[in-house]
């Protein structure tokens, strides 16, 4: 269970990181959707998850590199906005949970369809007897 202060920090970073990204001039990263922030080691490290579902693997690698380069500007924005003495080191990670949930939903739909087909086949067999 995370402390309330840590949860507040994560919530504030969820607002400030997208704002900081929007101030950057690179169109590949200034519109990225941040899906989550997970602070580790107190406030020293933060994993920032972004939605990369519109990009292929090569583009995601480029985006992560661009975000690493912009890390200091993002930290400066956060420090200026909050008045904190220290800002966490950001690690940017592609959030694949949306894709995984869509894949799981597709599997459930397929299973449901197969069960309906099996029930239909069984009904037809019983009718033919």
Give the closest residue to 35 by CA, choosing from 22, 9, 20, 17: 17
Cα–Cα distance measured from residue 81 to residue 34, given in angstroms and rounded to the nearest whole number: 18
Please answer whether residues 29 and 63 qualify as being in contact, where contact means their C-beta atoms are separated by less than 8 angstroms.
yes
Class of domain 4-95: alpha beta
Instruction: For the chain, list the strands marked E by DSSP.
Output: 34-40, 45-51, 89-95
Cα–Cα distance measured from residue 6 to residue 119, given in angstroms and rounded to the nearest whole number: 51
Give 39's strand partners.
46
Q: What is the pTM of this model?
A: 0.73
Render pLDDT for 62-93 as a digit per residue (tens, 0 to 9). 999 999 999 999 999 999 999 888 999 999 99
Domain spans in the chain, listed from the N-terminal domain onward: 4-95, 97-129
Render pLDDT for 34-70 as a digit per residue (tens, 0 to 9). 999 999 876 789 999 998 888 888 999 999 999 999 9
């Amino acid at each position: 269970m995370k402390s309330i202060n840590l949860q507040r920090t994560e919530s504030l970073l969820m607002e400030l990181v997208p704002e900081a990204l929007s101030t950057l001039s690179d169109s590949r990263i200034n519109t990225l959707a941040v899906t989550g922030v997970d602070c580790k080691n107190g406030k020293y490290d933060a994993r920032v998850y972004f939605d990369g579902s519109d990009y292929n693997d090569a583009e995601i690698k480029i985006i992560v590199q661009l975000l690493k380069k912009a890390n200091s500007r993002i930290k400066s924005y956060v420090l200026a906005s909050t008045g904190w003495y220290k800002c966490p080191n950001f690690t940017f990670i592609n959030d694949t949970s949306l894709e995984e949930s869509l894949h799981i939903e597709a599997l459930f739909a397929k299973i449901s369809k197969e069960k309906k087909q099996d029930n239909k086949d069984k009904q037809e067999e019983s009718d033919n007897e």
